[in-house]
Structure 1
Amino acid sequence: KTLTDLNALADEYLRLSYHGLRAKDKSFSAEFKTDFDPNLPKLEVVSQDIGRVLLNLINNAFYAVNEKAKSGIDGYLPEVIVSSRKTETGIEISVKDNGNGIPDSVKDKIFQPFFTTKPTGSGTGLGLSLSYDIVKAHGGELKVESVEGEKTEFLIQLFA
């Protein structure tokens, strides 16, 4: 574990994800914004592992807004927002999207291994399960809030 600037890590993986998706699909387009707490303390983490979690959550967010954009809703602007804030007990990183949301019927299954809502061949169902395990191994929590048809927010909570 090394002392890590999680704002810089989140920013790096946000750009990596966006440009990776653009490289794969030239028609892919989405707004992305950051709202980082400048007073976020550095934390001892395995930055490669937390990076994987961030990349997975951000890729999922871009996937969600891209799927919604393909459905041709008038005036829809796909947007992914990555933010951070210092909490009383540590830090919180949020990955928010205005995609289709997660149906209530599957919300309690999304962290299970091999569960996916993606079409056959495009998701292994391991991303969120691994992400959950990595955050847990860091003594943290991974939570989700979603409104079907509107938005999803994943919260990574790490304790100092």
Structure 2
Amino acid sequence: MRNFEDDPTLSDLLTPDQLQRLSNGLSALCRKPVEISENRAGDAVPVEFNLETVGWLSGGASDGEREAAAELVSFLMLFVAKYRLAANIHHDTTEASYAELQRQNEALRASEAKYRELSDQLQQKVDEQVDVIRQTQQELYESARLRSVGHLAAGVAHEINNPVGFISSNLRVARDYVQNLEPLLPETLENRELLEDFQDLLSESIEGTDRIASIVADLKTFSSIDQADNALCDLNSLLRSACHLVQTEHDHRLNITENLAELPRIPGHPSRLSQTLFNLLDNAARAVGDDGRILVRTLADNTGIQVIIQDNGCGIPETVRSQVFDAFFTTRPVGSGTGLGLTVARDTVRAHGGQLTLDSQEGAGTRVVVSLPVQQGS
């Protein structure tokens, strides 16, 4: 809409239809028809707006009629201009208000995007804190479990080692006494069979006490009672102890093959590494049952050590394979597992600068590889 900052023309002030209606009205008032146009013709008189001629009025019965009609047209156009001015002001105000609303809307959108970004950042920090808390809970749980095992092993060592020691010593002395008594007894078939059975009983009892002592030693190695928190670790020794403990837990029915290469000692936490190896072997034992096989291998080169635990058990279903490292996830019945074994094992290996990988096929078995770095000069 034109704002009339420049001088308007007749067509700016009146549309052709309005101009025709105005001419018809004036013709009805005058004795002869009149016509308004932008071009001057004959006896036409000027039609002015703001002291400027914008058109010409012709016709009418006399000069007086023409001048009166032109004056009336000029008067009407003054109000037309005022209406147009008010309309322009309203239009400009509306446009300004709309522009301001658009600006406010853009500012609101920018503010909303900023707060959304802040909300996302806050949620990320909350998630990170939740992960830290969950990790701390796992470490506390594992630490408490290791302390419990340590106390148990310490109690076993204290309460069993001493009596087992003198029982074993007494049995060996008793065996020697039987040998000394043999020539003093009458030579009869009954006496010979009795002495042979007695010797067998003593030998079996001595073997049992040796087995108890071996289990206690494995428990001590497993819980690292006599070791510092951070020490040079013999992985083969820890692995053998873990194998013996798993065998004991399963009544020595497991078919475990050990193929252990010579390994350098590595710095670490013996108790945590023992717990990790035990968890992995225990998982394999539960997967194979009494009829399967477990292969335990160690490899070493200039860059690192690998511990490989492979079984031909049931394997892990594809539907849950991506969740096996999730905390508290377990496929065992309620009350049979905490769901932290593999999680703690992975985190322990990572804490030692290594990596734990798992490859499993349902019905074909599972292969777990623990890779640990070798510190130069260790």
TM-score where L is the length of structure 2: 0.37
Q: Is 1:152 aligned to residue 152 of structure 2?
A: no
CA distance in 2, matches of 1:111, 1:119: 17
C-alpha displacement of 1:88: 4.3
Residue 130 of structure 1 is matched in structure 2 by 344
Listed as ranges, the matches of 1:4-23 within 5 Å are 4-22=233-251
Identity %: 36
Look up the match of 2:258: 34
Structure 1 residue aligned with 2:77: none
Q: CA separation in 1, counterparts of 2:232 and 2:253?
A: 34
Greater relative contact order (CA < 8 Å, ≥ 6 in sequence): 1
Q: 1:5, CA displacement in angstroms?
A: 1.2
C-alpha distance in structure 1 between counterparts of 2:341 and 2:293, whole Å: 21
* Alpha-carbon separation, structure 1, partners of 2:297 and 2:323: 25
Match of 2:274 in 1: 51
1:64-143 residue pairs with structure 2 within 5 A?
64-66=287-289, 77-143=291-357
Question: Which residue is equivalent to 1:72?
Answer: none
Q: Deviation of residue 45 (structure 1)?
A: 1.3
Q: Deviation of residue 153 (structure 1)? A: 1.1
- The letter for the 1-side match of 2:249 is G
Give, as a single letter, the amino acid of the residue that structure 2 aligns with 1:16: L
- Measured after TM superposition, the shift of residue 157 of structure 1 is 0.7
Which has a greater percent of strand?
1
Write out per-residue CA displacement over residues 109-143 of structure 1, whole angstroms, 9 at most, x where no aligned residue. 10110111111111110111111111111111111
TM-score (norm 1): 0.86
Q: Please, what is the CA RMSD of the aligned residues?
A: 1.3
Report how far residue 30 of structure 1 moved: 2.1
For 1:112 and 1:139, the matched residues in 2 are separated by 20
**1:53-77 alpha-carbon deviations (Å, 9 max, x no partner):** 00000011100111xx5xxxxxxx4
What residue ranges of structure 1 are gaps of 5+ in the alignment? Answer: 23-27, 70-76
Greater C-alpha Rg: 2
In 2, Cα distance between equivalents of 1:139 and 1:107? 24
**Which has the larger helix fraction?**
2
Matched position secondary structure for 1:108: helix
Instruction: Tell me the secondary structure at the aligned position of residue 131 of structure 1.
Output: helix
Q: 1:20 and 1:102 mapped to 2: Cα distance?
A: 23
Gaps of 5+ in 2: 1-229
Q: 1:63 corresponds to which residue?
A: 286
* 1:9 partner amino acid: L
